[in-house]
Chain A
Amino acid sequence: MRRSRPWLLVVLVGAVLGVVFAAVSTYDFVQHLDRQVHNLHCSFLPGVSHSGESGCQVAMMSPYSSVLRGRIWGGVPISLPALSVFAFLVFYALDLALTRRKADPRATGFLALAAVLPALASLVMLLISLTQLGTTCKLCVCIYVASALCLVGGVALWRQAVGGRGEPAPARRRRHSEPRGEPAFVGRGHRDPEPRDATRATTGSDARLVALSGGGASAGFLAAAFAIGVGFVAVPVALYLAMAPDHARFIGSCEGLLHPEDPYGVMLRVDRASHDGVPAPAIEVLDPLCPACKAFEHRLAASGLAGRLDRKAVLFPLDSACNWMVTEATHPGACTVSEAALCAGDKAPDVIAWAFEHGEQVRDAARSDPAAAARLVKQRFPELASCVGSPEARSRLNKSLRWIVANNLRVLTPQLFIDKVKLCDEDVDLGLEYTLSAMLARHARGALAVVPAEKPAPGKPAGKAP
């Protein structure tokens, strides 16, 4: 006789771990609904927080961390349905144990199928992390492991149940047929325990019990389990959608452009995206070596809204080599790269794209050797060699900075203005799709305007560029 392995316990442990880590991830996401910057719990140990840039930060701020982003600020975090699914798996595993169905091929098969869902989602998210984000988040890895445990346990339990069904059943003659017409899911608990106990006394095996019961869970049982699973996901998501704060009130409350015109000719095209319909005029204030600007560019591209913007850029390098408004080179080499972009004219998008791609390399090189940025730029764009560093280029970059001063902008990048109205700094990451969609809709209606906020809108800490 085969020894029964505790696969149900494996599923239970995986599901409980999944609940814990998905809950922590959901908490991290939800706390950002207050539009503030928060530490994340990015650790293999639940509850250990982490500040600054991390894989968890990258993953959470990426467009893959939530769904329905255009409908609700930040969207619904995918960790919330994950939490729900794991909670359902805990319930279902406990239910199998309580109703002694762990040897039921159909009931355990449903468990295995249910476990496929988080496993598949984990696989997709892992692939996205590796191929799109270039990093993994510890908390996510814990969820992947929990998903794997559930899947392995679920499949093994099912295989064990299927295998056990084929074993000889000495008491088969005492077979009980499935009672007809009883409540599909909870009703299974009504079975008369007497024959089962009698059988257990004889065989000591749930497999034989299922064999006696004539093939396991009914379609009604499985349908009810499925419905309960859907409920586990639908109720929290519906609750989230219903309770999420209204962020539309902040649109237009974050200052605007006083002088959007370009008397100095310093505005550059920032992308080569084709436009959908009549695009809204947009001005982006950016630093070509600013990681936050690069991330914003990626988020904007992923949002699918870039094509609805006729976007121009004003360069605002946060580098004290040319920018008197910062006391140190937050992004060393940014002045040189900005000069290159201004020198490049129509090819400015190429310079900016190169800077985004090689930003870390340029910053690191320029940090130890201020001339390194110019070398790298001239190496990549030899046609700009005579222009970069020239008095004309420096003067033009200075005019770009003076455009910033003339518009009383914050010393911060990136900043995006749609038809003179600023996309609030708090809306450039999680809330981008929702807020930008709303701003574009208002612009199309002619209703987008700077509105004086009755109360000051929340902001991020001063003097710190992202």
Chain B
Amino acid sequence: MIAARIAIAAALLAVPAGLTGAWVRSADTRLTELSKAPVELAPVASASDVGYCSPELKRILRRVLMSCGLVGGNAARGCQPVQARSVATMSGHDFNALFKPMQDRGGIVQFDQDRSEVDAADIALVDQVFADQRGASWFFVVARASPEGSAEHNRELSRQRAEAVMAHLRQQFKDPDLDKEVGMLWLGEEYAQLEAEFCAWKRSSTAACNTDQLNRSAFVAWIDCQL
């Protein structure tokens, strides 16, 4: 009788003790094995690099960004038409074509003739586009002028338009990264004039669109490419 009772006690004690021991040992073994195995982790956060960021676009983007003072430690800020043309090494039409995939990420801030002040509608568009940064790393401000007037005057006018947009961004967003992520180009009337198809983009003017009006502008867009 005693032996039977001891056996029962031992058998029943072995249930929690034995099972626990076996399960803990098994978990420990798995833990050791898993510690040695390559693991699948959640992806690492990164900036956007979307489909249109072809190697060719990135190459040109890098050259433009370096020449225009955003990357590479160049102290100069902004590119003039001659620089833009030389670093892009492409026709104005091809240069504009680079930006076409960014239609839903950009807008065209339209200025009055021979003016470089931003009005409320311009500010609203700039704010709307800039606030929608998402994962983009670069913000381009590409200012132009319509062909009226001299090339020098228009070059200066387009620079003032780009600066006006930049000044507003500085004042509105107080973003410490602004100088590292906003690239300015002022193209005057000399290079990469916008064609009529850009009338379909978001614009700050509701007036009828023609190419002269379209080029009294600063094109703004986020570019979702990593370099």
A contact set with B: CB distance below 8 Å? 19, 23, 26-27, 30-36, 80, 83-84, 87-88, 90-91, 94-95, 98-99, 186-187, 189-190, 228, 231-232, 235-236, 239-240, 243-245, 263-264, 322-325, 390-392, 394-395, 398-399, 401-402, 404-405, 407-412, 425, 455-465
Contacts and interface: CB of A to CB of B under 8 A. Distances in A.
Interface in B18-77: 19-21, 23-28, 30-31, 34-48
B23 A27 contact: yes
16 contacts: A34-B30, A91-B9, A95-B8, A325-B135, A398-B133, A399-B175, A401-B45, A402-B177, A411-B43, A425-B42, A455-B35, A458-B31, A458-B34, A458-B37, A462-B40, A464-B42
Given A80-B16, A324-B135, A405-B47, 8 more contacts: A26-B19, A34-B28, A87-B13, A186-B2, A322-B134, A392-B172, A392-B173, A395-B133
Nearest to A240: B20
Given A30-B23, A34-B30, A19 B40 contact: no
A462 B42 contact: yes
Nearest to B32: A245
Contacts of B44: 408-411
Contacts of B31: 33-35, 245, 458
Nearest to A395: B131
A23 B173 contact: no
A189 B5 contact: yes
A235 B17 contact: yes
B5 A30 contact: no
A462 B16 contact: no
B132 interface: yes
Given A34-B31, A455-B35, A391 B131 contact: yes
A26 B23 contact: yes
Contacts, number: 183
B128 interface: yes
Contacts of B173: 391-392, 395
A458 B16 contact: no
A39 to B, nearest CB: 15
Contacts of A30: 20, 23-24, 27
B5 A98 contact: yes
A8 B103 CA distance: 80
Interface string B113-135: 00000000000000110111111
Instruction: List the 6 shortest-distance A-B pairs measured between CB atoms, nearest first.
Output: A391-B131, A324-B135, A189-B1, A33-B27, A391-B127, A236-B16
A58 B135 CA distance: 35
Interface residues of B, number: 52
Nearest to B27: A33
Contacts of A412: 42
Contacts of B36: 455
Contacts of B207: none
A394 B41 contact: no
Contact of B39 (A34, A94, A456): A456
B176 interface: yes
B8 A94 contact: yes
Give the secondary structure class of B's interface.
Answer: helix
A450 B91 CA distance: 52
Give the most central of A32, A235, A398, A407: most B CB within 10 Å: A398
Contacts of B28: 33-34, 243-245
Contacts of A407: 45
B153 to A, nearest CB: 33
Give the most central of B23, B41, B172: most A CB within 10 Å: B41
B8 A457 contact: no
A238 B44 CA distance: 41
B208 interface: no
A80 B224 CA distance: 54
B12 interface: yes
A399 B23 CA distance: 47
Given A236-B20, A459-B39, A395 B25 contact: no
A232 B176 contact: no
Contacts of A462: 40-43
Contacts of A88: 12
A399 B42 CA distance: 21
A152 to B, nearest CB: 22
Nearest to A185: B5
Given A30-B23, A458-B31, A461-B40, A91 B131 contact: no
Contact of A31 (B9, B23, B176): B23
A114 to B, nearest CB: 14
B134 A324 contact: yes
B200 interface: no
B167 interface: no
Give the most central of B20, B127, B130, B177: most A CB within 10 Å: B20
A399 B15 CA distance: 56
Contacts of A90: 12
A87 B131 contact: no
A401 B23 CA distance: 42
Contact of B48 (A95, A231, A324, A460): A324
A111 to B, nearest CB: 15
Contacts of A398: 131, 133-134
Contacts of A399: 175
Contacts of A94: 8
Contacts of A232: 12-13, 16
A87 B34 CA distance: 33
